[in-house]
Structures are given as structure tokens and as C-alpha cells.
Structure 1
Amino acid sequence: MKKCMFVLVALFGAAVAQDNFKCPDDFGFYPHDISCDKYWKCDNGVSELKTCGNGLAFDATDSKFLTENCDYLHNVDCGERTQLEPPISTPHCARLYGIFADEAKCDVFWNCWNGEASRYQCSPGLAYDREARVCMWADQVPECRNEEVAGGFTCPAAGELANTGSFSRHAHPEDCRKYYICLEGVAREYGCPIGTVFKIGDTDGSGNCEDPEDVPGCEDYYGDLDLKSIRKSELLAGLQSSEGRQANAKPLKPRPAPAEKA
């Protein structure tokens, strides 16, 4: 009984100490002792308790205490400030603010701001890693099932294809721009640079990204899109890479089935 009373008195004393926070200086922003999403704002020596948005935490890295900054929880080292306000959730958002993985698709994540979710999708072959909070190769993300990693595509067995070794390329069955790379038996999905499509090579497991007019059945992949404008916008945004990213364009028809060899 005495032990319980001591704990209650200690907690009450800590609460009172926080309620009676004395400003070290006339102006500044100071972290709460036990809450990571609360802080004190001092104005003319008068303290006011403030709370960051749900899913944000107070960044206490400014040694001069002059910065008022609430950041995503995963960006803030809370240390011993372990308490948080209860989560407030909305569709796709575990809290009102934050970046959250999609529960159904491993290549999709949501950026939530004040409860409004914006959908983002990783480039072909990548998936959102919940720990690193970046898009990584899908086969390296534990939450990804095989059918999501490469659309269920399975690499040929070792030695099945001649002259390819442990590396081979394979056309996507439905999308002219996409293709799979098999490396040591692991399939990864790629996308050709904007304005090109994947052309199957003369030998099994080979191919390259070429102009659509040089790939039978994929000539109309981009339709009436102004490819010059798209290339320029991607370059200005820093989005284009050697392997390319998903285009907004959708194929007008599926990739034609390869002709059977005699």
C-alpha cells in the first residue's frame, strides 16, 4: 500500500512540475519532460503547453531552444520522452500525420497530412520498406508475397536457357514497357525509359529497350502522348533513371504473344 502511494505521489509531483514549468528564458521552445509530442512555448517569460499534430513529435535538437518544429515521429529521437497522445486514424492513416505502408499492396504507401492521405507507388520492381521508409527491391521487403514481387513471374530454372548464365531478361506478358530481370533465379520488374518499350531479343532471355516503332505489336503504346514534353518534365523533376519509371500511359493493347518456334 505504501509503495502504491509513493508511486501516485511521484506521478502527481511530476505532473505538477510540468504544469508549473518555469521558463529558463523570456522566449523559447522547450521539450516536455515525458511527452514527445508536447512542448513548452515561452513568451515574455510566460509558459504555454503546446501539442504537435497527431503523428508528429517535437524536435528538441536546437540547443538554443529557439526553433519550434514538429516533425514526423520516425524523424525524431524522443529519448526518454516516451509518452504520446492516443492515435487518431483516418482511411490509410494510422495517425493524422505520417507515412504509412498500404496494407494490401506492398509497392504502395501513403503520405498523411492532417488525416488526408496521398497515394504513392514505388517504381516497377520496388516495394515500400516499412523500416527504412524507402522503396527497395521488392524481393528484399519481407511483407511482399511472390505474386507481388514480380507479378507471379518465375525465372527459368538454372541451365534452362543457353548463353544467359545467371542473368536474363524477359518481356512482361501484358505491358510493352515493362520487363523482368532474372539474377541468380530472383525476378525483378523493371520499366524501360519513357518513350521506349522492351524488345525481345533474338535469343532466349535477351532483349533491350527500343523505340516503339521498332517493336511489332507495341507501336501504339504511347498513343497520342507528346513524348518530348513528358521527357522534359521528367528530366526537370529529376525522375528519369537508366532503367526508367512507370509512365502515365497505358498500352492500347496487350503485348502480342511470341510466335512459336518451329
Structure 2
Amino acid sequence: FKCPDDYGFYPHSHSCDKYWKCDGGTAELKTCGNGLAFDATDSKFLTENCDYLHNVECGDRTGLEPAITAPHCPRLYGIFADEAKCDVFWNCWNGEASRYQCSPGLAYDREARVCMWADQVPECKVEGGFSCPAPGELANTGSFSRHAHPDDCRKYYICLEGVAREYGCPIGTVFKIGDSDGSGNCEDPEDVPGW
């Protein structure tokens, strides 16, 4: 590689995770961390920036170093879905995995890389989950109704147009079932009978 200027950072022609550092006109081949790629968006080539693979448009630079794995980390750097739990994902930095959990009712979407409603995440369809009451089954529910979770007093479901979404009460509160009309609210445990 011949440096076009005395100083700068230039993408490798074939590898997305490699780049050239030019200093005094001398080129040095550099490699981003495993799971990172060189961000070549600086048109002046003055920025040395390696970013998560999913944040970098590699184009024709398809080559990558072989994956180096660690527990919960398919590569040393990146954000990865948990293989067993839909609501858990891992942020890996140099092979150290930090666990994150989506709020109740949400699941980690591998493509969008955010927590979304679980019913909108294809890999996370819950079988045998809560079923909303049929339309007209509850009086005066309006457009939605609230229902207690069968196993966790902090959680509840909101049914909106027949789709159940799990919610959670703030820490220190529990879901208090309302009348039989699909109402209810998060309350102090002392104000909830039978708790």
C-alpha cells in the first residue's frame, strides 16, 4: 500500500476489519479488535475509528479475521442475543460479556438490536402465553384491558386489539386487580388484599 498523503487512515481494499495507518508517508497495516470493523466514512481520512460490525457499511470489503469466541460472545466485541432467553442480550468488550435484560414484555431483536415488544420479535414467539379475552367478553373495557400475571405479582398484561403485552410494575409495587372489567393498577403491597 502506498500512502496517498503523509498522514491518514485508509481502508484495506479487501478486509473490513483492517486499515492502513500512514505516518510520515510510511504505511502500517492495522487490525481492529475481533468483532469490530474500520469505519471508512471520513472523506478526509483523518479519523482512526473501529466500530461494531453492525454499525459499519463494509461494501466490497468482505474479509474478516476468524472469530475469537468467549462465553456469550461469538466475537470479542459486539452486541449479541442470548441463545436461551429472548429478553437477554450481551455486550461484549474484549471478550468480557455484560448481561442486559429487556423490560418485562420486551424481547431483544437481533436485527434491529433493540428491545421490542416480544410479539414483534420473530425468534421469540411465546407458546402457551396469556390469551386475551374475546371481544365483548368484558364490559366497559374500551380499547384495552389489564390482567394479572398468573405467576408474578409485579407483572401484568395489557390486551390491545386482542394482543397481550407483558408489563411490569415499578419496584416496590404490585399489580392490584380491579373489578371484573379488565382494570387494575400498580399499588403499594399494603393496599393489595391477599398480598
Give the TM-score band, short-chain normalised: over 0.9
Helix, strand or coil for the counterpart of 2:54? helix
- Specify every segment of 5 or more residues in structure 2 that has no aligned partner in the other structure, as ranges: none
The residue that corresponds to 2:141 in the other structure is 164
CA contact (8 A) 2:82 2:90 kept: yes
My pick for the range that moved more, 124-133 or 183-192, is 183-192
Moved over 3 A (4+): none
TM-score (norm 2): 0.92
Once residues 99 and 50 of structure 1 are traced to their aligned partners in structure 2, the CA distance between those partners, rounded to angstroms, is 23
My pick for the range that moved more, 154-163 or 182-191, is 154-163
CA contact (8 A) 2:37 2:56 kept: yes
User: Higher relative contact order by CA 8 Å / sep ≥ 6: 1 or 2?
Assistant: 2
Residue of structure 2 aligned with 1:131, choices 111, 131, 144? 111
- Specify every segment of 5 or more residues in structure 1 that has no aligned partner in the other structure, as ranges: 1-20, 217-262
Deviations 1:52-86 (A, max 9, x none): 11110001111111111100000001111111111
Q: More strand by proportion, 1 or 2?
A: 2
CA contact (8 A) 2:172 2:189 kept: yes
Give the aligned CA root-mean-square deviation in angstroms: 1.6
Q: 1:121 to 1:127 in 2, by over 3 A?
A: same
Once residues 192 and 152 of structure 2 are traced to their aligned partners in structure 1, the CA distance between those partners, rounded to angstroms, is 13
Once residues 151 and 211 of structure 1 are traced to their aligned partners in structure 2, the CA distance between those partners, rounded to angstroms, is 30
Deviations 1:149-201 (A, max 9, x none): 49722222233222225521001123222111111221110012344321111
Q: More helix by proportion, 1 or 2?
A: 1
Q: Which of the pair has more CA radius of gyration?
A: 1
Once residues 119 and 144 of structure 1 are traced to their aligned partners in structure 2, the CA distance between those partners, rounded to angstroms, is 18
Q: Percent of counterpart pairs with the same letter?
A: 90
Deviations 1:181-222 (A, max 9, x none): 111221110012344321111233111122222112xxxxxx
CA contact (8 A) 2:138 2:180 kept: no
Deviation of the 1:87 alpha carbon: 1.3
Once residues 104 and 63 of structure 2 are traced to their aligned partners in structure 1, the CA distance between those partners, rounded to angstroms, is 39
